[in-house]
Amino acid sequence: MSDNNPAGLDPAGVAVKRTIMSNKFLPTLPILKLLAKPLIVCLVLAGSHLLISRQAFAGTRFDGTWNLVFMTQRGDCDPTYNFMVDVVNGNITHPNILTFRGRVAPSGAVVASVRVGRRYASGSGRLSGVSGRGVWSGRSSDTRCAGTWAAQRN
């Protein structure tokens, strides 16, 4: 401190004592600067990897191929229908029937419908880990039919 600067301020008006105290931490700054950039890069890469992994495995516990058997109990339709469907992210699809629509909820509840020409059917039920069952009803030309269905995971 000098007589013409009784408050101990440097020419810029900043307290000299404060400047000296902050200089105590300067030896650690190069280490922080050296580590900060790689640390940020690692965090960004780890975060993006977790996002990609979560999106890649966002399927449901019911995803996979299922074999379905439909049994007619009422009406003049074929006694049984057999085919396989795929469940991907809860959506039920058939590789050859484009008008097949269905959904499996996280609880296992199933709702589906299919239309082929003048034939139409819809059904509902429930899947568990490896099997499922439910009911269906539909129409083939002027004939109405109904029955049950069973599913088995392949």
Sorting pLDDT into bands at 50, 70 and 90, what band is 77? confident
pTM of the entire predicted model: 0.62
pLDDT in tens, 115-126: 888 889 999 999
C-alpha–C-alpha distance, residues 47 and 35, integer Å: 18
Residue among 113, 139, 134, 137 at smallest CA distance from 124: 134
The DSSP line for 82-105 is EEEEEEETTEEE-SS-TT-EEEE-
Q: Are the CB atoms for 131 and 108 separated by under 8 Å?
A: no
Identify the residue with better confidence: 70 or 141. Answer: 70
Dihedral over Cα of 44, 45, 50, 52: its sign: positive
- Give the model confidence (pLDDT) of 36-60 as tens digits: 555 565 555 555 444 443 444 468 8
- Residue 42: its pLDDT value, please? 53
10-36 residue pLDDT tens: 555 555 554 444 445 445 555 545 555
Comparing 142 with 93, which gets the higher pLDDT? 93
